Chain A
Amino acid sequence: MSPSDQARERRLLNELSRINNDYGTQQRQAMQQLARTRRELASAQEVLGTVAHDLRTPLQAVLGFVEFLLEEDLDPHQRDLAERISRAAVQLSGLTDELVETVSATTPELRRAAVDVVSLVDEVTTRHRLLGPERVVEVRQEVAVPPGSRPQVLGDQARLQRVLDNLVGNALKFSPPGGTVTVALTVEGDEVVIAVSDEGPGIDAAEQEAVFAPFHRTAAAALVPGIGLGLTIVRQLVERHGGSVALRSEPGHGATFTVRLPALPG
């Protein structure tokens, strides 16, 4: 190699090193920023969790005392006011519960054990069937697994129950009177698949990703209680179990949320 070729080679190598260094610096800076954002988020969640927790105690007092009040001999105007306080307190209690759940969904540890998915689906659907007296919505269960098999996933029983509770609760909220909410369980390859369908107004394609974002509320959701964290919790918990959640919906034709979780080898 001639001296000029050597010099050219060195220049090229140096240029490559410079590009590589610049890339490495930018990559590390992006990681630094991501780490800071995550820490800030965790810190905000800690504060949020504490606040929500601290709100619960006085709220329980309000709920309890207003109940006592409603048992008293009140005139119609007083009763109307007390009932309004009661409804507002119940709503506020639901919101704080949702906040506490959001924070707990992102806390580090999952208590993993083998979870029987057929029992899980059965428990959740039965409970929602019993708990939905004010609107007539059928909660139906469709279990299609090989005869005699009991598919299992490795997961946190309480958190997986929360996933299904949120999905079924959500489906019930948006179902019209006389509608049906279906919880279908199947096994596809090495995955357990749980699909929750409703016959509600559906979700526009443009909004289908956004519904999983924290505090996102669709136009239809403005009419029902909630603060827009239920589906965020679902996605966080499912992903922490190594699974995925997908939404299929057409406006006017209901919505189906499909959860896929890795099955335990059976």
Chain B
Amino acid sequence: MGREDMGRQDLGRQDLGTWESEPLGRLADGPAALSSRVLGHLGLPGRAELREVVELGISTFDAALAHDAPELVADFLGFAAHRVAVLAPAPPLPGRVRSLPRAVLAELLPAADLAAVEDLLGRALDLARARRTDQRPVLGDPARAFLDHALAGDREAAVAVVLDAARAGTDLAVVLTDILEAAQQELGRLWEEGTVSVAQEHYCTALTQLAMSALYPYLFDPAAHGTGPRPGLVAVQAGGSLHEVGLRMVADLLEHEGWDTTYLGAEPDPDRIVAALVEQHAKVLAISASMPAHVGAVAGLVRAVRADPRTAGVRIVVGGRPFVVAPGLAAEVGADGTARDAREAVAVCTRLAEASDVPV
């Protein structure tokens, strides 16, 4: 969930575990072992930030192969081209990428698996060429002011921008999306182009979370929406990702719209998620994945919810960058819908709630 550019900052926050796809699953070594070979073939130095880019590429490729979603790799390639240009003295030539599978995997995989890998990469490169790049978000004055204060380390001034807007009567949905979500999107772009450091990105994201908390007195206003029944939402971040702002924003927007929301954060236990759905009589479960490697966890959670008769009628919406770049993944993981950003998520959740079998 969240805008298209939210989520890449999870780079370096991933834990490379085991392979998800069948072809790569036949490799004797795990994903981490492959990164040195890839760096070597691309002629890149082994500095930590470049290694993280490569590791993200490997996990993305694995997920794309598992779900037949070359869009994920195409999206990664667009990002990697920017990022490597910032980090490496001499970026690799495009031909080196196309020849990667053969150079790195030929001795390790059967011919059919190698062909599957090359086919996916070929389709991803074709898509990447067709992709529009350099989409700059349009920032309004308050979003720009919030981000400028945040980047300058002025916590009070940044939060004041948001609170002043709320006190002036600006609709909370506007404050959340046009200021905080827009600023977060721009932050991701600045990080990607190397203008802000990882530490600055973490700090500014934490400030966005702080500003969202500062809005709680407006958001959880007991006088709003009366005491009648409210549709229930449970929101969870899949795969233990640290990038939670987008999902929290969706939950906050729905609370503002009169829903009864339960935000679980990065809750890894499907049993607890099912229990929360039952306890809250939730009509909708919102699951967010910030990285392709988490799509498998989303699919697992959807299966667990569908398998339990108590929650089989709950509608499921998925979001996050992998679903934005490859919307077809939503149906593949068994979800009922997906959304590109927080506002669209509200519309989709509202539509799904109306179709839900769970009584309010």
Contacts and interface: CB of A to CB of B under 8 A. Distances in A.
Interface string A19-36: 011101101110110111
Nearest to A1: B48
A42 B227 contact: yes
Given A3-B48, A43-B227, A108-B223, A21 B199 contact: no
Interface stretch (A7-15, A72-80, A168-176, A243-251): A7-15
A16 B199 CA distance: 10
A40 to B, nearest CB: 8
Interface in B241-279: 242, 244, 248, 251, 255, 260-266
B209 A32 contact: no
Contacts of A87: none
A112 interface: no
Contact of B222 (A9, A20, A32, A39): A39
B47 A32 contact: no
B199 A9 contact: yes
A57 interface: no
A190 interface: no
B153 interface: no
A87 B47 CA distance: 89
Interface centre among B49, B206, B251 (most CB of A within 10 A): B206
A157 B213 CA distance: 36
Contacts of B227: 39, 42-43, 46
B49 A6 contact: yes
Interface string B142-173: 00000000000000000000000000000000
A135 interface: no
Contacts of A13: 198-199, 202
B96 interface: no
Contacts of A32: 220, 255, 260-263
Interface in B22-38: none
Contact of B266 (A16, A21, A39): A21
A28 B251 CA distance: 10
Nearest to A25: B265
A36 B260 contact: yes
B144 to A, nearest CB: 24
Contacts of B219: 31
A38 interface: yes
Contacts of B198: 9-10, 13
Interface string A40-83: 00110010000000000000000000000000000000000000
Nearest to A42: B227
B209 A24 contact: yes
A9 B198 CA distance: 9
A24 B244 contact: yes
User: Which size class do B's interface residues fall under?
Assistant: 20 to 34
A38 B223 CA distance: 9
Contacts of B260: 32, 36
Interface string B44-56: 0011110010000
Contact of B242 (A9, A21, A42): A21
A29 B263 contact: yes
A150 interface: no
A65 B305 CA distance: 62
Contact of B265 (A6, A24, A38, A42): A24
Interface string A229-265: 0000000000000000000000000000000000000
Given A24-B209, A42-B227, A34 B220 contact: yes
Contacts of B213: 24, 27-28
Given A38-B222, A42-B227, A43-B227, A3 B47 contact: yes
Given A14-B12, A31-B220, A24 B48 contact: no
A6 B45 CA distance: 14
B222 A42 contact: yes
B202 A7 contact: no
A3 B265 contact: no
Contacts of B248: 24, 28
Given A7-B48, A16-B202, A17-B13, A25 B222 contact: no
A6 B47 CA distance: 9
A7 to B, nearest CB: 5
A174 to B, nearest CB: 34
A126 to B, nearest CB: 36
A35 B251 CA distance: 14
Interface centre among A20, A21, A25, A29 (most CB of B within 10 A): A21
B185 interface: no
Contacts of A7: 48
Contacts of A16: 202, 206
17 contacts: A3-B46, A3-B48, A6-B48, A13-B198, A21-B265, A22-B265, A24-B265, A27-B216, A29-B262, A32-B220, A32-B262, A34-B220, A35-B220, A35-B255, A36-B260, A46-B227, A108-B223
Interface of B: 12-13, 46-49, 52, 198-199, 202, 205-206, 209, 212-213, 216, 219-220, 222-223, 227, 242, 244, 248, 251, 255, 260-266
Closest 10 CB pairs of A and B: A25-B265, A38-B222, A6-B48, A35-B220, A43-B227, A17-B242, A42-B227, A28-B263, A13-B202, A24-B209
Given A20-B209, A25-B244, A28-B251, 5 more contacts: A31-B220, A32-B220, A32-B255, A35-B220, A46-B227
